[in-house]
Amino acid sequence: MTKHVTHWIGGKPFGGESGRRGDIFEPASGRVAGTVDLAGPREVGAAVAAAKAAFPGWRDASLSRRAKVLFRFRELVDAHSGELARLISSEHGKVVADAAGEVARGLEVAEFACGIPHLLKGGFSENVSSRVDAYSILQPVGVAAGITPFNFPAMVPMWMFPVAIACGNTFVLKPSEKDPSASVRLAELWAEAGLPDGVFNVLHGDREAVDGLLRHPDVKAVSFVGSTPIARHVYETAAANGKRVQALGGAKNHMLVLPDADLDLAADAAVSAGFGSAGERCMAISVVVAVDPVGDELTAKIKERVAGLRVGPGDHPESQMGPLVTKAHRDRVTSYLDGAVEQGATLAVDGRDPDVLGGAGEGFWLGPAVLDHVTPDMDAYRDEIFGPVLSVVRAGSYDAAMELISANPYGNGTAIFTDDGGAARRFQNEVEVGMVGVNVPIPVPMAYYSFGGWKDSLFGDSHVHGMEGVHFYTRTKAVTARWPDPSHGGVNLGFPTGG
């Protein structure tokens, strides 16, 4: 019997009224595992109306009450992390260990948000004028919407809604329709934690639901993570409709390997960062820039490690890499291998016919692939492939490599591998990228810092979570107050001045 996933609105399941449904696939087998309701205007309106109705009560809830609910939610998600990981693995395809890791990283943001009584402290200045005090307070913006991608169905939403809700906002989540079940389970855990009905809502759908949220007058802030073309559309549409927007786009993350680097460490890092979660993550390393003369040796070490990777279903205990999320995406990623060879690259590792644990069947399989001697004019270099394809580019010097990395239109994440502290410090200072790793291949910041890139990887001014997340989901109000003492004896209509 196949499952059916519907919306969560006003604290309970909300059956679809649009009459439209999408298929939920099991990537490891290729079969349709269920269906999901796709929202139309009525469902969008119902979700936003529920969030708007819940806002006044939640806005005025004490900070201690908000923190208690967040602590309960954190404990419940932790207790159900295995269940969530299996749900994610079954619909996305990533191995269960990867899925458990994303739940854990999402929990870190919930833990950060538990400190909301401290995070929302404003400022106070006494006696800015005679018997006049000035202070600032942080207040929620209202109904916030989150639009999130298929590759992290738990972690990316949890980058957003714990902070938004802790700040006193209400939230409408529009997760990917490709793997929707984790978001509904999180909604159920919020309810069990004591969150009032309507504070957190889940709206499934495609572009119709997205555009409905972007244009709805009662949605005040929009957070997005996805590809750059859609991030640009989200930013432009939401901003044109008067909303606060943070829209994180695509990436082409480079890993620079200098001649003095530990090549075994660099090769291990390139393989884990390039092929974890089948390369379907915005922080995956997709380009290794090897500064000669180490290119041949490094590529050989990468090939040696790739040969030992085990490809299989997400729930297989020996699997290290699962299938891709859909057949169409698998076919698109595969096309880059043929194209790169036609354009002059060397296919050092061909992942098109992987040896799959238990047999490939009709699953959406593509094994790890390595392209060598890639140049910046090739499609495999220019485009965000978002799959298990690692490109090796050769550079003659540090300066040439730096010029290559900084010239790329994306500016999400990058890494340098070297034993030279001076070179590493110079790199972190010069590179035109928002997140930098030094001998760390995937430099995802901890929850109390903020995540986000530069250039075409970010539209808007705010990164997610950390203090930038708190600022995004709040508005600052400045108050100037005079309370006359009992000796006050008259009216003064003048503007307050110092002295």
* Cis peptide bond upstream of 162, omega within 30: no
Q: Which of 67, 61, 202, 219 is nearest to 141 (CA)?
A: 219
Q: Percent helix, strand and coil across the chain, each rounded to 5?
A: 40, 25, 35
Range 332-344 average pLDDT = 97
Say what the pLDDT of residue 497 is.
Answer: 63
User: What is d(CA 319, CA 56) in angstroms, rounded to the nearest whole number?
Assistant: 48
Cα-trace Rg, the chain: 25
> pLDDT above 90 covers what percent of the chain?
94
Mean pLDDT of the chain: 96
Range 322-338 average pLDDT = 97
User: What is d(CA 299, CA 257) in angstroms, rounded to the nearest whole number?
Assistant: 11
The pTM for the full model equals 0.94
Topology (CATH) of 253-438: Aldehyde Dehydrogenase; Chain A, domain 2 (3.40.309)
User: What is d(CA 472, CA 450) in angstroms, rounded to the nearest whole number?
Assistant: 11
Q: Which of 236, 87, 225, 227 is nearest to 147 (CA)?
A: 225
Range 420-427 average pLDDT = 97
Token output for 172: 């409408």
Neighbour-count burial for 265-302, b at 16+ CB within 10 Å, e otherwise? ebbebbbbbbbbbbbbbbbbbbbbbbbeebbeebbebb
Find out whether 69 and 161 touch, Cβ atoms under 8 Å. Answer: no
Reported as a single tens digit per residue, the pLDDT across 72-126 is 999 999 999 999 999 999 999 999 999 999 999 999 999 999 999 999 999 999 9
Q: Name the CA dihedral angle for 459, 464, 470, 476, rounded to a multiple of 10 degrees.
A: -10
Topology (CATH) of 3-249+457-479: Aldehyde Dehydrogenase; Chain A, domain 1 (3.40.605)
Per-domain boundaries in the chain:
3-249+457-479, 253-438
DSSP letter, residue 32:
E
Single out the catalytic residue among 203, 282, 289, 470.
Answer: 282
User: What is d(CA 14, CA 5) in angstroms, rounded to the nearest whole number?
Assistant: 10
Annotated active-site residue 282? The verdict is yes
Task: Give strand pairing partners of 13.
Answer: 8
Token output for 317: 């205990």
Task: Categorize the per-residue pLDDT at 286 as very low, low, confident or very high, splitting at 50, 70 and 90.
Answer: very high
Say what the pLDDT of residue 330 is.
Answer: 97
Q: Which of 349, 281, 263, 340 is nearest to 309 (CA)?
A: 349
Token output for 214: 């972007």
Task: Categorize the per-residue pLDDT at 492 as very low, low, confident or very high, splitting at 50, 70 and 90.
Answer: low
User: What is d(CA 198, CA 188) in angstroms, rounded to the nearest whole number?
Assistant: 12
Q: Which of 157, 451, 130 is nearest to 282 (CA)?
A: 451
Given strand 20-26, what is the order of strands in its sheet?
3-5, 31-38, 20-26
Q: Which of 140, 224, 146, 141 is nearest to 183 (CA)?
A: 146
Token output for 25: 């696939």
Say what the pLDDT of residue 207 is.
Answer: 96
